Amino acid sequence: MTLATSSRPRATSRGPGASPRRRRYGPRLLPWLFLAPALIIFLYFKYIPMTKGVWLSFFKVQPFLGDEWVGLDNYRQVFTDESFRAAIGHTLYLAVMQTGGAMLIGFCLALLLEGKARTLWFVRSAAFLPVVSAIAVVGEVWRLLYFPAADGMLNGVLGWFGLGPQGFLDDPDSALWWVSVVGIWKHAPYDMMIILAGLAGIDRQLYEQAALDGASLRQRIRFVTLPALRPVVTILVTLACIRGLRIFTEVFVLTAGGPAGSTDVVMTRIYTLGFQSGDIGFASAASVLLFLVILTLTVCVTLYRRRKEI
Closest to other proteins by CB, 110 vs 176, is 176
Output 46 or 230, the one with its CB closest to other proteins: 46
In whole angstroms, the minimum distance from the beta carbon of 259 to other proteins comes to 3
In angstroms, give the least distance from the CB of 64 to other proteins. Answer: 4
For the bound state, the minimum distance from the C-beta of residue 215 to other proteins, rounded and expressed in Å, comes to 50
CB 170, min distance to other proteins, A: 5
With respect to other proteins, which residue has the nearer C-beta, 98 or 272?
Answer: 272
Q: Which is nearer to other proteins, 232 or 270 (CB)?
A: 270
* Distance from C-alpha of 283 to C-alpha of 53, rounded to nearest angstrom: 9
Smallest gap, in angstroms, from Cβ of residue 187 to other proteins?
Answer: 22
Cα separation of 119 and 126, whole Å?
Answer: 11
Nearest to 124 by CA among 132, 133, 114: 114
Q: Which is nearer to other proteins, 114 or 171 (CB)?
A: 171
Binding site for other proteins (CB under 8 A): 7, 26, 30, 33-34, 36-37, 40-41, 44, 61-65, 83, 143, 146-152, 169-172, 175, 254-262, 272, 274-280
Give the Å distances, CA to CA, from 16 to 19, 22, 27, 119, 279: 8, 13, 18, 70, 65
Q: How far is the CB of 246 from other proteins (least distance, A)?
A: 18
Report the alpha-carbon distance of residue 38 to residue 227 in Å, rounded. 38
CA distance 92 to 290: 12
Half-sphere exposure of 18 (CA within 13 A, CB side): 15
Nearer to other proteins by Cβ, of 62 and 302: the residue is 62
Smallest gap, in angstroms, from Cβ of residue 238 to other proteins? 30
* Residue 61 or 113 having the CB closest to other proteins: 61
